[in-house]
Amino acid sequence: MKVTKFGGTSVASAEQIRKVATIVADDVERKIVVVSAPGKRHSSDTKVTDLLIRLGETYLEKGYANEELEAVLRRYEEIAKGLELGQEIIDQIANDLHTRLTFNQSNPGAFMDQLKASGEDNNAKLIAAYLQTKGMNAVYVSPKEAGLLVSDEPGNAQVLPEAYDHLKKLRERDEMIVFPGFFGFSPDGALVTFPRGGSDITGAILAAGVKAELYENFTDVDSVFAANPNVVESPAQIRRMTYREMRELSYAGFSVFHDEALIPAFRQKIPVCVKNTNNPSSPGTMILAEREYFLNPVIGIAADKGFATIYVRKYLMNREIGFGRRLLQIIEDEGLSYEHIPSGIDDASVILRQEQLTDEIEHRILARIKEELCVDDVFVEKDFAMVMIVGEGMHNTVGISARATAALARAHVNIEMINQGSSEVSLVLGIHEKDADAAVRELYEEFFGGAEETVQ
């Protein structure tokens, strides 16, 4: 059995949904199909999820949102008519949206979850109806019916362990199951959505629940690339990579997956294949628990912007017991998470996402560090990028760091920070944001220049 997930661009129009139907019909093992809400049809288009967010926010503010509701319904009506479906499915979607708008607004987060989830839910119903017209034994199954139980945290649902016991029963069904991504239900019956990458998370949960042989994730690219195609011209395609490599690259800005989306599949060691809806014959990228890495110790290079550094200096810091704990406690008290903590004997830097630092929070943190830790100096620097060189084979390969620093020197990029985890799956280089693209291009040339079109 395969669990097959289709992203927003794959189900954005009638034309794309016809491709989906052909793909699932071509392989009888594709028994569970997870779908996103309709995405962008072209670069200037608006995703249905964004239309729903606009609808919900306007309704909460004004108590009505006729124009915004019409925009959502228009998208579904266009898809349904393009697939030659009858008025019944259009009316069903319209009634569903009107019902959701009557949901209790005293909890705005829960109200918005209801509306946002309708994108995937109604698209799953529409796609199931279309597959039936093509002679397939397809049926829509809701997360509630399937028992996809999650924590009651609007916008940040976490799957509950007992959900997997419920979901494994889907394996016994004869029909092709069309399942909406992005949301589940709390034990009390409340609809709750997942965080970023929600439909990918749903697919991974279902794959783990039914013990699928493969989790296929169809998107709009032939594979995962060794670098961002918007930065590096025609980067190599990655054929095989590990879960750890994918997580590191996703964290650093690779847009194929959110970095937490594959965790359920990873824990069950279920292979994941990234494929292209518009070119399904392409082999795609296989994401595995392990791979042979001797041919390519480095699998990819990525950069993510928007970091800030809290720099702290105190003479004899290394001899002061509890200094690091107290420093991080101040960060924790403000509800912030950190990314890296490179340090020396008399100084330390706490690197975190810059978006977390409001002026007020920054002022409080600096004041507390000065007062409570009696430091010699403390200040914040902003607008950093983290460049990551990723590969399972790096820990067995001599000279990776030397090659990386030499490449950045050639590009006249100053390195502000170097950090490498104990697993040596990635090497992190902190640089100024303005140098990020030049750094990625030079590092790509160093590790992949002259390479073939694919990385094994």
Q: Is 49 annotated as a binding residue?
A: yes
Q: Which tens digit of pLDDT belongs to each residue from 169-195?
A: 999 999 999 999 999 999 999 999 998
143 pLDDT above the threshold of 70: yes
Give me the pLDDT at residue 248, please: 82
| Lowest mean pLDDT across 350-359, 393-402, 446-455 | 446-455
- The CATH 3.30.2130.10 domain(s) of the chain lie at 300-455
Look up the CATH superfamily of 300-455. Answer: VC0802-like (3.30.2130.10)
**Distance of alpha carbon 287 from the chain centroid:** 15
pLDDT reported for residue 351: 94
Q: Which long-range contacts (CB under 8 A, 24 or more apart) does 165-173 make?
A: 166/209, 167/205, 167/206, 167/209, 167/210, 168/209, 168/210, 168/211, 170/32, 170/141, 170/146, 170/206, 170/209, 170/210, 171/1, 171/210, 171/211, 173/31
CATH code of domain 2-220: 3.40.1160.10
- Give start-end residues of each CATH 3.40.1160.10 domain in the chain: 2-220
Residue 397 predicted with pLDDT over 90? no
> Does the annotation place 245 within a ligand binding site?
no
Beta-strand (E) ranges in 354-413? 377-390
CA distance 84 to 76: 12
pLDDT of 452: 55
Query: Residue 424's pLDDT is what?
Result: 72
Q: Is beta strand 191-193 parallel, antiparallel or unpaired with respect to 417-420? A: unpaired
CA separation for the pair 86, 452 (Å, rounded): 49
Using a pLDDT cut of 90, give the percent of the chain over it: 74
Sign of the CA dihedral running 25, 246, 298, 449:
positive
Tell me the C-alpha to C-alpha distance, in Å, between residue 64 and each of 61, 92, 253.
Answer: 8, 20, 38
* pLDDT band per the 50, 70, 90 thresholds, residue 294: low
Contact (Cβ atoms closer than 8 angstroms) between residue 14 and residue 79: yes
CB count within 10 Å of CB 450 equals 5
* Helix ranges, 309-357 (H): 323-333
Question: Quick one: average pLDDT of 338-363?
Answer: 93
Per-residue model confidence (pLDDT) at position 393: 82
pLDDT at position 399 is 87
Per-residue exposure over 70-99, b if at least 16 CB sit within 10 Å of its own CB, e if not: ebbbebbbebbeebebeeebbebbbeebee
Closest C-alpha among 312, 262, 253, 267 to residue 286: 262
Q: Which of 169-173, 238-242, 334-338 has the lowest mean pLDDT?
A: 238-242
β-pair type (191-193, 183-185)? antiparallel
Residues 320/325/331/337 CA torsion (nearest 10 deg): 130
> Is 120 labelled as part of a ligand binding site?
yes
Question: What is the average pLDDT score of the chain?
Answer: 92
DSSP code, position 235:
P
Is 306 labelled a binding residue? no
Is 56 annotated as belonging to a binding site? no
Q: Is 57 known to sit in a ligand binding site?
A: no
The pLDDT score that the predictor gives to residue 290 is 81
Is it the case that residue 394 has pLDDT exceeding 90? Answer: no
- Asked whether the CA dihedral 447, 384, 261, 423 is positive or negative, the reply is positive
Does 7 appear as a known binding residue?
yes
Q: Which amino acid is at 75?
A: R
Per-residue model confidence (pLDDT) at position 9: 93
In the numeric block, which tokens belong to residue 423?
């697993």
